[in-house]
């Protein structure tokens, strides 16, 4: 749990703050203002092809710039947004903003796929397929340049979720299962859900060299995904050793601080001048930590 934010530093709430100024109720009140006053922003984390070093996409991750509290991590407010239903307008904003930004990149010749995290509530409380369709129409983004990330906790109404996902896939949008391996009934969902990609949860990747069980789990997820013709992405790659292990076991793609933290668009553009063609600057023999 981080301390009060300085410049660009995250703010995670301590339990003391939850009892005082920042309790779930005031956070909800402030979230309503934040939607009106547009206090949210998106950072983008690169997703790298582990065999070529190519940047193939970015994941959009929300941040809240509160005028008094500073930059707030999604872990601190997404659960409250979900409980209060505010995740629906917030999620719609994220979708629109990510598509708008990616259209700008596409037009300037640096297009890549943008991934957007969706909450189960967005499936339950909106006609998600038509929301997405309208957003693509309004922003002019090519559906192939959008991916949605769902989690295994989408248990509410499986029949409806599957129908929605099928509609979404028909639009040409890619679907991935985020935090794979941490939810219930992984294999059940895998069989039911029409998805393209599995994202191996960071908790497994971070333990790769401490725990042989995690090695086995990661190897198993990769080979299962490959056998099912699914794309597989490792989240949270922080060390060269983790990268080497994942490459050795033929994991297709990866994200993590080793490559880059999530960045505001302007910084991302500086670091990856030609997003699509940035392969060489990411030559996998290079020292990422320099
Ligand atoms: P996620 O979708 O699994 O996103 C990956 C999280 O891992 C991000 O945290 C990212 O900054 C962090 N991460 C990436 N690489 C590394 C690494 O190498 N080491 C470490 N320690 N962390 C790494 P972030 O941005 O704080 O987001 C946390 C979670 O909040 C996300 O997990 C996602 O579930 C949720 N979230 C973020 N943005 C949105 C959004 O727009 N809508 C919804 N519904 N949820 C969101
Ligand atoms: Mg995600
Ligand atoms: Mg997620
Ligand atoms: Mg994840």
Given pLDDT bands bounded at 50, 70 and 90, which one contains residue 290?
very low
**How is the chain split among helix, strand and coil, in percent rounded to 5?**
45, 20, 35
Distance 47 CA to ligand 4 centre (A): 12
* C-alpha span between 130 and 164 (Å, rounded): 10
* Residue nearest to ligand 1 atom 13, measured at CA: 236
Which residue, among 169, 207, 199, 168, has the nearest Cα to 183 in the 3D structure?
199
Atom of ligand 1 nearest to the CA of 87: 44
* Closest residue to atom 2 of ligand 1, CA basis: 117
Q: Is 78 in the pocket of ligand 1 (CB under 6 A)?
A: yes
Pairing label, strands 70-72, 55-66: antiparallel
For 107-249, where are the E strands, in sequence order? 113-117, 146-150, 174-180, 197-200, 231-234
Residue 185: predicted pLDDT: 57
pLDDT in tens, 95-139: 999 999 999 998 888 779 999 999 988 888 779 999 999 999 999
SS3 state of residue 43? strand
Q: Spell out the residues 6+ positions from residue 250 whose beta carbon is closer than 8 angstroms to its own.
A: 222, 226
Closest residue by CA, ligand 1 atom 46: 117
Tell me if 147 sits within 8 A of 113, measured CB to CB.
yes
What residue's CA is closest to ligand 1, atom 10? 262
What is this model's ipTM? 0.98
Ligand lying closest to the C-alpha of residue 200: 4
Name the band, by pLDDT with cuts 50, 70 and 90, for residue 4.
very low
Mean pLDDT, rounded, of the chain: 86
Average pLDDT in the 227-242 region?
96
Two tokens, residue 147: 């991916």
262 lines ligand 1 (CB under 6 A): yes
Residues 57-104 pLDDT 10s: 999 999 999 998 889 999 999 999 999 999 999 999 999 999 999 999
CB count, 10 Å around CB of 68? 7
Note the Cα 224 to chain centre separation in Å.
Answer: 22
Highest mean pLDDT among 113-127, 250-264, 274-288: 250-264
Could you give the CA distance from residue 105 to residue 146 in angstroms, rounded to a whole number?
Answer: 13
Q: Give dist(CA 129, CA 74) in Å, integer.
A: 24
Count of other CB atoms within 10 angstroms of residue 122: 25
Dist CA 195 CA 177 (whole Å): 7
Please, which residues bridge with residue 147 across strands?
115, 174
Secondary element (H or E) of residue 223: helix 212-227
The pLDDT of residue 12: 64
CA of 177 to the centre of ligand 1 (A): 14
The per-residue pLDDT for range 5-51, each reduced to its tens digit, is 444 566 666 544 544 677 888 999 999 999 999 999 999 999 999 99
Decide if 46 contacts 58 (C-beta within 8 A). yes
- For residue 23 the two structure tokens come to 């309790």
Instruction: Quote the pTM value.
Output: 0.90
At CA 197, angle to CA 191 and CA 202, rounded to 5? 105
Angle between helices 158-170 and 128-139 (to 10 degrees): 20
């Amino acid at each position: 749990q981080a301390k009060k934010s300085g410049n660009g530093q995250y703010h995670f709430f301590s339990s003391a703050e939850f009892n005082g100024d920042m309790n779930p109720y005031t956070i909800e009140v402030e979230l309503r203002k934040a939607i009106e006053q547009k206090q949210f922003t998106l950072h983008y984390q690169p997703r790298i092809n582990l065999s070529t070093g190519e940047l193939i996409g970015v994941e959009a991750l929300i941040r809240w710039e509160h005028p008094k509290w500073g930059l707030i991590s999604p872990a601190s407010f997404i659960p409250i947004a979900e409980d209060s239903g505010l995740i629906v307008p917030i999620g719609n904003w994220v979708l629109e903003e990510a598509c708008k930004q990616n259209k700008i990149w596409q037009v300037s010749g640096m297009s890549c796929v943008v991934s957007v995290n969706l909450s189960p509530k967005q499936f339950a409380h909106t006609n998600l397929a038509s929301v997405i369709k309208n957003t693509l129409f309004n922003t002019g983004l090519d559906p192939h340049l959008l991916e949605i990330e769902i989690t295994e906790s989408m248990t509410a109404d499986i029949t409806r979720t599957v129908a929605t996902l099928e509609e979404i896939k028909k639009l040409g949008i890619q679907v991935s299962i985020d935090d794979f391996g941490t939810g219930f009934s992984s294999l059940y969902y895998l069989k039911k859900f029409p998805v393209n990609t599995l994202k191996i949860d960071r908790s497994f990747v971070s333990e790769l060299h401490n725990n042989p069980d995690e090695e086995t789990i990661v190897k198993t997820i990769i080979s299962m995904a490959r056998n099912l013709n699914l794309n597989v992405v490792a989240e949270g790659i922080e060390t060269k050793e983790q990268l080497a292990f994942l490459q050795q076991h033929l994991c297709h793609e990866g994200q993590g601080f080793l490559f880059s933290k999530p960045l505001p668009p302007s910084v991302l553009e500086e670091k990856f001048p030609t997003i699509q063609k940035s392969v060489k600057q990411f030559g996998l023999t290079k020292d990422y930590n320099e």
